[in-house]
Amino acid sequence: MSKILLTGSSGFICSAVLKELLTSAHSVKTLNRSKQAGCAESNSILFSGFSAENTFTDCFENIECILHCAARVHIMSEDSSDPLSEYRAVNTEGTLNFARQAAEAGVKRFVFISSIKVSGEATKLNHPYKSTDLPDPCDPYGISKYEAEQGLELIAKETAMELVIIRPVLVYGPGVKANFLTMMKWLSKGVPLPLGAIDNQRSLVALDNLVDLIVTCVDHPNAANNIFLVSDDRDVSTTELLLLLGRALGKKTVLIPVPMRFISLCSSLVGRDDISQRLCGSLQVDIQHTKTTLGWCPPYSLEQSLQKTVNAFRQENKA
C-alpha cells in the first residue's frame, strides 16, 4: 500500500484517478485549490496554486508517491497575449518547484501526467510516435510540458526520487468535453457530416484505460525513470470513429464522402488549418514499450469505452 499525494484531482482525468484510488488499498491525500468532493477533509490539503515561489513542505509528510496531474490545460481558443509564459509559469516552473521540494522531503516517486503534444502534433500514416523518439512540441502547451519533463529528469538524476512520465493521447470517457462532446451532439441530432471519406489513423485512450495505467505506475518496480505512451492500442480513422459513436448512440449516421483535400482547402481558406489537422490528420502512438515494460495491456476495448461514454452523455442530456 502506497501513501499518495494527488494533484489536480478535480479535473477530468484525476477525478477518475481519485475515485479509483479511494476504492483501493492506497492511502490518498489531495492537493486542491478548493475542497474536493469524495475525499475526507482531513485528506484534502488546500493551497493557492502552482508557481515558482510557493512552498509545499507541509504537504509531503509520509508521502511515498506523487501523482501530478495539475496543469494549465490546453485551450483551443487561446486569447492570452503571451500564452507560452502563462503555460510555463504553472506547467514548467510550478511543477519543477513542487518536484524539487518533494525530492528534498524524501518522496520516492513522482508520476507526471504529460501530453502527447510533447512528441508532436501529427504523424505520417502508420508511422506512430515511440517513447524513444526525439520530442517535437509545437504549441505553448506542449513546449511547457516538454520543459517540465526535462527539468524533472534532471531532478531525478540529482536526487533519489524516481520519475515516471506518462504522455496520453486524446482522452475520452464519461464527462468528456470539447470536440468529442461536439461530435456526440451532432450525431445524436442526426446532423449530416462531410466526414465520410477520411482516411487517417488516430490513437485514442479511454479514461478507464489511462486511469488503470496511472495506478499501475504508482508502485510498479519497472515504471521508475521511464516514459510511457498510452492508448487503447487500436487506431481508428475519423470516419470509423463517427460510425462507432453513431452505433453506440443507436442513431443513423449520415456521413458525406467529401475528399480530404477539399476539407483541407476550405479550412485553409478560413485560416483554420488546425481544424483540418484534427479531422483529417493522423496521430498514432506505439505503446509496445509500455506493454512490455509493465506487463500491461488496456483492460477495456474501444467499443466498450465508447459505449460507456455515450451512455453517460445520454444520461446527462436525456438523448
Question: Percent helix, strand, coil in the chain (nearest 5)?
Answer: 45, 15, 40
Question: 38-50 b/e with 16+ CB inside 10 Å = b?
Answer: ebeeeebbebeeb
Rounded CA separation 188/83 (Å): 35
- CA torsion sign, 157 to 26 to 169 to 199? positive
Residue with cell 523518439: 133
- 57 in helix, strand or coil? helix
Distance of CA 205 to the CA centre of its chain: 8
Rounded CA separation 242/247 (Å): 9
Tallying the residues shown for the chain, one arrives at: 319
List alpha helices for the chain, DSSP H: 12-22, 83-87, 95-104, 140-158, 178-188, 207-219, 238-249, 260-269, 273-280, 288-294, 302-317
Catalytic residue among 87, 129, 141, 172: 141
Rounded CA separation 112/95 (Å): 9
Strands 65-68 and 3-7: parallel
Tell me, yes or no, if 141 is annotated catalytic: yes
Active-site residue numbers?
141
